[in-house]
Amino acid sequence: MIGGSLRMHRGKGVVIMICRPAGDIVRAELRLCVALSIPLLGACAGDTLLGFKIGDIGGLWIASSYEHVSTANPSLRVDIVARDGALLTLSVDDSVQPPVVGSTLDDGLGAPSNRSGAVDIRQGLLTLGAETYVVVHDNDRMTLTNESGAFDFGNGVEPATIVISLDRI
């Protein structure tokens, strides 16, 4: 802005732009301020910032792969669906707000687990128990990634990224 300032403040789901022109308010500057503010406020009004809405991931999903990828050596991968016959189902009930998320994992080795969680569409995150995953959605396919995992690749437990590919059923 000519002779003024433009500041943005971000909070939980809110972006506020403050335009403070110095001296006389020039109409063009005011229009520019409004033009810059509207798209940002519009983004806050909806529930989609990452290319999909919560309704897009509602339903029942089944894992086609559940990979542990070594952080130290990314070529070292173990897919427990292929190796152990693991079965992960994920349900997202978007008929209520906030959506109800739950999963059942049978790891194929006799250690089944059930976890509940939440989805944060604004940040593209899905939480199951204590684990948080980044969500990538493409129609009837979804990928969950957690870079804070751990897995025993044969030489003791080491840091690993968990990558789960899911298909809607």
Mean pLDDT of the chain: 78
Are 142 and 164 in the same domain? yes
> For position 67, which CATH number holds?
2.40.128.20
Are 8 and 40 in the same domain? yes
Residue 164 belongs to what H/E stretch? strand 157-168
Are 11 and 35 in the same domain? yes
Cβ contacts of 41 within 8 Å, gap of 6 or more: 15
Are 83 and 128 in the same domain? yes
> What pLDDT score does 21 carry?
47
Are 67 and 29 in the same domain? no
Nearest to 158 by CA among 102, 90, 74: 74
pTM for the model stands at 0.70
> What does the pLDDT look like over 50-109, one tens digit per residue?
556 777 889 999 999 999 999 999 999 999 999 999 999 999 998 888 889 999 999 999
DSSP codes joined into one string, 120-143: ETTTTEEEETTEEEEEEEETTEEE
16-30, 56-70, 114-128: which has the highest mean pLDDT? Answer: 56-70
CA-based Rg of the chain, rounded to a whole angstrom? 22
1-5, 28-32, 101-105: which has the highest mean pLDDT? Answer: 101-105
- Rounded CA-CA distance 1/163 in Å is 45
| pLDDT greater than 80 at residue 145 | yes
Are 90 and 155 in the same domain? yes
Are 145 and 96 in the same domain? yes
Confidence of residue 27 (pLDDT cuts 50, 70, 90): very low
Are 32 and 113 in the same domain? no
Per the structure, the complete domain to which residue 26 belongs is given by 4-45
- Which tokens belong to 73? 């050596």
Are 10 and 93 in the same domain? no
Amino acid at 98: P
